[in-house]
Amino acid sequence: MHTIQTLIKAIAKTPNDPGLHYELGGLYLENKDIPAALLSYQRALQLAPNHPQILLQLGNTESAAQHAEQAAHYFQKCLQVDPNNAAAYYNLGNAYMALGQSQQAIHQFKQSLTLNPNDAEAYNNLGNALRDVGKLD
Protein backbone atom coordinates (compact mmCIF):
# COMPACT_ATOMS: atom_id res chain seq x y z
CA MET A 1 0.00 0.00 0.00
CA HIS A 2 1.39 3.33 -1.05
CA THR A 3 1.24 6.40 1.12
CA ILE A 4 0.72 9.89 -0.23
CA GLN A 5 4.32 10.86 0.49
CA THR A 6 5.64 7.72 -1.21
CA LEU A 7 3.62 8.47 -4.33
CA ILE A 8 4.70 12.11 -4.39
CA LYS A 9 8.33 10.95 -4.31
CA ALA A 10 7.66 8.43 -7.07
CA ILE A 11 5.97 11.11 -9.18
CA ALA A 12 8.99 13.38 -8.71
CA LYS A 13 11.10 10.62 -10.31
CA THR A 14 8.62 9.68 -13.05
CA PRO A 15 6.24 12.63 -13.49
CA ASN A 16 4.70 11.32 -16.71
CA ASP A 17 3.33 8.08 -15.28
CA PRO A 18 -0.47 8.41 -15.31
CA GLY A 19 -0.84 5.39 -13.03
CA LEU A 20 1.01 7.13 -10.21
CA HIS A 21 -1.17 10.24 -10.50
CA TYR A 22 -4.26 8.01 -10.59
CA GLU A 23 -3.18 6.16 -7.43
CA LEU A 24 -2.41 9.46 -5.71
CA GLY A 25 -5.87 10.72 -6.61
CA GLY A 26 -7.36 7.64 -5.00
CA LEU A 27 -5.43 8.19 -1.79
CA TYR A 28 -6.47 11.83 -1.66
CA LEU A 29 -10.08 10.78 -2.21
CA GLU A 30 -9.85 8.22 0.61
CA ASN A 31 -8.60 11.05 2.83
CA LYS A 32 -11.53 13.28 1.75
CA ASP A 33 -9.19 15.77 0.07
CA ILE A 34 -11.37 16.25 -2.99
CA PRO A 35 -9.51 19.25 -4.49
CA ALA A 36 -6.20 17.36 -4.38
CA ALA A 37 -7.87 14.23 -5.79
CA LEU A 38 -9.28 16.24 -8.68
CA LEU A 39 -5.85 17.70 -9.45
CA SER A 40 -4.23 14.26 -9.42
CA TYR A 41 -6.91 12.70 -11.61
CA GLN A 42 -6.78 15.65 -14.01
CA ARG A 43 -3.01 15.23 -14.34
CA ALA A 44 -3.50 11.50 -14.96
CA LEU A 45 -6.03 12.35 -17.67
CA GLN A 46 -3.60 14.78 -19.31
CA LEU A 47 -1.13 11.91 -19.55
CA ALA A 48 -3.69 9.29 -20.64
CA PRO A 49 -6.61 11.22 -22.21
CA ASN A 50 -8.66 8.20 -23.29
CA HIS A 51 -8.33 6.03 -20.20
CA PRO A 52 -11.88 5.05 -19.17
CA GLN A 53 -11.06 4.37 -15.51
CA ILE A 54 -9.48 7.80 -15.09
CA LEU A 55 -12.51 9.42 -16.73
CA LEU A 56 -14.84 7.42 -14.48
CA GLN A 57 -12.94 8.41 -11.33
CA LEU A 58 -12.85 12.05 -12.37
CA GLY A 59 -16.62 11.89 -12.76
CA ASN A 60 -17.03 10.23 -9.38
CA THR A 61 -14.79 12.83 -7.74
CA GLU A 62 -16.67 15.70 -9.39
CA SER A 63 -19.88 14.11 -8.07
CA ALA A 64 -18.38 14.00 -4.57
CA ALA A 65 -17.60 17.70 -4.97
CA GLN A 66 -21.27 18.34 -5.89
CA HIS A 67 -20.27 19.31 -9.45
CA ALA A 68 -22.95 17.32 -11.28
CA GLU A 69 -22.53 19.03 -14.64
CA GLN A 70 -18.78 18.42 -14.72
CA ALA A 71 -19.32 14.85 -13.48
CA ALA A 72 -21.77 14.23 -16.34
CA HIS A 73 -19.15 15.51 -18.79
CA TYR A 74 -16.56 12.98 -17.60
CA PHE A 75 -19.06 10.10 -17.55
CA GLN A 76 -20.07 10.94 -21.13
CA LYS A 77 -16.41 10.99 -22.19
CA CYS A 78 -15.90 7.65 -20.45
CA LEU A 79 -18.79 6.18 -22.43
CA GLN A 80 -17.34 7.49 -25.70
CA VAL A 81 -14.19 5.50 -24.95
CA ASP A 82 -15.90 2.51 -23.29
CA PRO A 83 -19.55 2.26 -24.41
CA ASN A 84 -20.13 -0.91 -22.36
CA ASN A 85 -19.23 0.62 -19.00
CA ALA A 86 -22.25 -0.03 -16.78
CA ALA A 87 -20.82 2.07 -13.94
CA ALA A 88 -20.48 5.10 -16.23
CA TYR A 89 -24.13 4.80 -17.31
CA TYR A 90 -25.23 4.42 -13.69
CA ASN A 91 -23.19 7.39 -12.52
CA LEU A 92 -24.30 9.50 -15.48
CA GLY A 93 -27.87 8.73 -14.45
CA ASN A 94 -27.09 9.94 -10.95
CA ALA A 95 -25.53 13.12 -12.34
CA TYR A 96 -28.64 13.77 -14.42
CA MET A 97 -30.80 13.23 -11.33
CA ALA A 98 -28.69 15.79 -9.44
CA LEU A 99 -29.25 18.20 -12.33
CA GLY A 100 -33.02 17.61 -12.21
CA GLN A 101 -33.01 15.81 -15.58
CA SER A 102 -34.95 12.70 -14.60
CA GLN A 103 -35.96 11.74 -18.14
CA GLN A 104 -32.32 11.59 -19.24
CA ALA A 105 -31.46 9.71 -16.06
CA ILE A 106 -34.04 7.03 -16.89
CA HIS A 107 -32.27 6.21 -20.15
CA GLN A 108 -28.89 5.96 -18.41
CA PHE A 109 -30.17 3.70 -15.64
CA LYS A 110 -31.80 1.43 -18.23
CA GLN A 111 -28.53 1.23 -20.17
CA SER A 112 -26.68 0.41 -16.96
CA LEU A 113 -29.16 -2.36 -16.16
CA THR A 114 -28.86 -3.80 -19.66
CA LEU A 115 -25.15 -4.25 -19.00
CA ASN A 116 -25.45 -5.16 -15.31
CA PRO A 117 -28.94 -6.56 -14.65
CA ASN A 118 -28.20 -7.42 -11.00
CA ASP A 119 -27.49 -3.85 -9.87
CA ALA A 120 -30.06 -3.21 -7.13
CA GLU A 121 -29.01 0.44 -6.75
CA ALA A 122 -29.61 1.08 -10.45
CA TYR A 123 -33.12 -0.41 -10.12
CA ASN A 124 -33.77 1.78 -7.09
CA ASN A 125 -32.56 4.92 -8.85
CA LEU A 126 -34.51 4.03 -11.99
CA GLY A 127 -37.62 3.77 -9.82
CA ASN A 128 -36.91 7.18 -8.30
CA ALA A 129 -36.44 8.73 -11.74
CA LEU A 130 -39.65 7.14 -13.04
CA ARG A 131 -41.50 8.45 -10.01
CA ASP A 132 -40.11 11.92 -10.67
CA VAL A 133 -41.58 11.96 -14.17
CA GLY A 134 -44.86 10.33 -13.08
CA LYS A 135 -44.28 7.01 -14.83
CA LEU A 136 -44.54 4.48 -12.03
CA ASP A 137 -46.63 1.50 -13.13
Residues 6+ apart with CB under 8 A from 93: 104, 105, 106, 107, 108, 109, 112, 122, 125, 126, 129
Q: What is the pLDDT of residues 86-116, one digit of tens each?
A: 999 999 999 999 999 999 999 999 999 999 9
Say which CATH topology domain 1-49 has: 1.25.40
* Same fold: 1-49 with 69-137: yes
Residue 130 has pLDDT above 60, yes or no: yes
How do the domains of the chain map onto residue ranges? 1-49, 69-137
Say which CATH topology domain 69-137 has: 1.25.40
Q: What is the pLDDT of residues 37-83, one digit of tens each?
A: 999 999 999 999 999 999 999 999 999 999 999 999 999 999 999 99
pLDDT at 63: 97
Q: What is the pLDDT of residues 1-50, one digit of tens each?
A: 579 999 999 999 999 999 999 999 999 999 999 999 999 999 999 999 99
Question: What is the distance between the alpha carbons of residues 44 and 16, in angstroms, rounded to a whole number?
Answer: 8
Report yes or no: 53 and 77 within 8 Å, Cβ to Cβ.
no
